[in-house]
């Protein structure tokens, strides 16, 4: 059971990285970003391409994936999302379209496949990223046998969550983000450059999702559609935790990850998913604003 809960904690860590960006962007910008899962996928493919073309391992791919997906997120915000603020359904449909375009770009190797050009690491096939030798195997802690790579995932996620908390609570840009989450019009009236803060927030959230993709590539195969279910799980965490709440995201990611791991071990993955959705529905009924929230959804 301890092993199962530890696996659940590592899965919760991945889920938290995906959800942090959604919690911030949805809270600050009111945008349902359906392309967020594709940032996870791009992060995973960055790890694949970094290994092939740069001979970089997973650890080295983390900062590369953050930069790549942050830039992609910034472009999406400036070109598309910025023009659709206040139009919730339009942003949902537009970012869904972006997600499909990104998937097909990877599958068709950015169109080069039409000209008979193959880019190693891209295409519709499955890709794998080897875990560095130093992160393979297990180690013993307090009489428990701990998987080294899953422990690495937890440590990296904890560090990034701490960095995110520091940026939100102890920096000027974080104070502006929190002001926008509470009341964007009042924040703008007080001199906050809402457009600039939104762009940086969107880029940062996309970067975190890219790192989640790198972490996932170490124990899952990489393929163009891998990010689609992640955006659903990410929004479940946001809904349960509360809009714009970092603490709520941490607690809800841990809760849902552990439930999924324990129920899947006792029964199967299908029942685990059903139980998770049942828990989410129950929490929404009891606490419509989520466990912790600055404002209603």
Average pLDDT over residues 173-184: 84
Q: How confident is the model at residue 152 (pLDDT cuts 50, 70, 90)?
A: very high
Has residue 245 been placed in a domain?
Answer: no
Dihedral class, residue 290 (left if φ above 0, else alpha if ψ from -120 to 50, else beta) = left
pLDDT at 180: 83
**Is position 234 within any domain?**
no
Model confidence band, residue 22 (pLDDT cutoffs 50, 70, 90): confident
pLDDT for 86 beyond 80: no
Q: Note whether residue 83 is domain-resident.
A: yes
Would you say residue 139 lies in a domain?
A: yes
Cα(38)–Cα(56) distance, rounded to whole angstroms?
22
CA 47 → CA 13, 223, 257, 266, distances in Å? 18, 12, 24, 33
Q: Is residue 121 part of a domain?
A: no
pLDDT band of 162, cuts 50, 70, 90: very high
The segment with the largest mean pLDDT, out of 68-77, 89-98, 144-153, 267-276, is: 68-77
- Looking at per-residue pLDDT, the higher value among 271 and 246 belongs to 271
**How confident is the model at residue 297, as a pLDDT?**
45
pLDDT for 252 equals: 87
Position 296 scores a pLDDT of: 47
Please, which residues have CB within 8 angstroms of residue 180's CB and are 6 or more apart in sequence? Answer: 28, 29, 187, 192, 194, 197, 198
* Contact criterion met (CB below 8 Å) for 217 and 47: yes
Mean pLDDT calculated for residue range 254-265: 85
Rounded-to-integer distance, Cα 187 and Cα 195, Å? 11
Q: Into how many domains does the chain fold?
A: 1
pLDDT of 263: 86
- Share the mean pLDDT of the chain: 87
* Domain annotation covers residue 260: no
> Each residue of 196-248: pLDDT tens digit?
998 999 999 999 999 999 999 998 899 999 988 888 888 888 888 876 677 78
Is 141 part of a structural domain of the chain?
yes
pLDDT at 283: 87
**Predicted confidence (pLDDT) per residue in 38-76, tens digit:** 999 999 999 999 999 999 999 999 999 999 999 999 999
**Range from 86-100, 130-144, 235-249 carrying the lowest mean pLDDT:** 235-249
94 within domain boundaries: yes
Q: For the whole model, what pTM was predicted?
A: 0.90
Report pLDDT for 3.
Answer: 67
Q: Which two tokens stand for residue 81?
A: 């999302």
Q: Which domain holds residue 69?
A: 2-110+126-226
pLDDT digits (tens, 9 = 90+) for 120-132: 999 998 898 999 9
Per-residue pLDDT of 23-34, as tens digits, reads 877 766 778 889
């Amino acid at each position: 059971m301890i092993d199962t809960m530890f696996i659940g904690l590592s899965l919760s860590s991945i889920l938290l990285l995906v959800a942090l960006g959604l919690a911030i962007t949805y809270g600050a910008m009111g945008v349902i970003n359906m392309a967020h899962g594709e940032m996870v996928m791009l992060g995973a493919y960055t790890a694949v391409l970094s290994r092939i073309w740069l001979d970089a391992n997973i650890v080295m791919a983390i900062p590369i994936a953050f930069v790549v997906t942050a830039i992609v997120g910034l472009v999406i915000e400036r070109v598309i999302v910025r023009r659709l603020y206040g139009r919730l359904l339009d942003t949902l449909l537009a970012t869904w379209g972006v997600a499909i375009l990104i998937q097909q770009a990877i599958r068709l190797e950015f169109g080069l496949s039409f000209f008979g050009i193959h880019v190693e690491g891209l295409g519709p096939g499955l890709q794998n990223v080897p875990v560095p030798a130093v992160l393979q195997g297990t180690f013993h802690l307090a009489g428990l046998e701990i998987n080294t790579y899953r422990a690495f995932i937890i440590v990296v996620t904890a560090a990034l969550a701490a960095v995110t908390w520091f940026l939100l609570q102890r920096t000027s840009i974080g104070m502006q983000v929190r002001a926008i989450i509470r009341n964007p019009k009042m924040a703008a009236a007080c001199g906050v450059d809402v457009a600039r803060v939104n762009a940086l927030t969107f880029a940062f959230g996309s970067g975190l999702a890219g790192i989640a993709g790198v972490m996932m590539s170490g124990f899952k195969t990489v393929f163009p559609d891998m990010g689609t279910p992640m955006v659903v799980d990410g929004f479940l965490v946001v809904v349960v935790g509360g809009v714009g709440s970092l603490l709520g995201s941490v607690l809800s990611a841990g809760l849902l990850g552990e439930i999924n791991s324990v129920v899947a071990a006792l029964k199967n993955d299908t029942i685990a998913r059903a139980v998770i959705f049942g828990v989410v529905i129950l929490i929404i009924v009891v606490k419509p604003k989520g466990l912790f929230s600055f404002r209603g959804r």
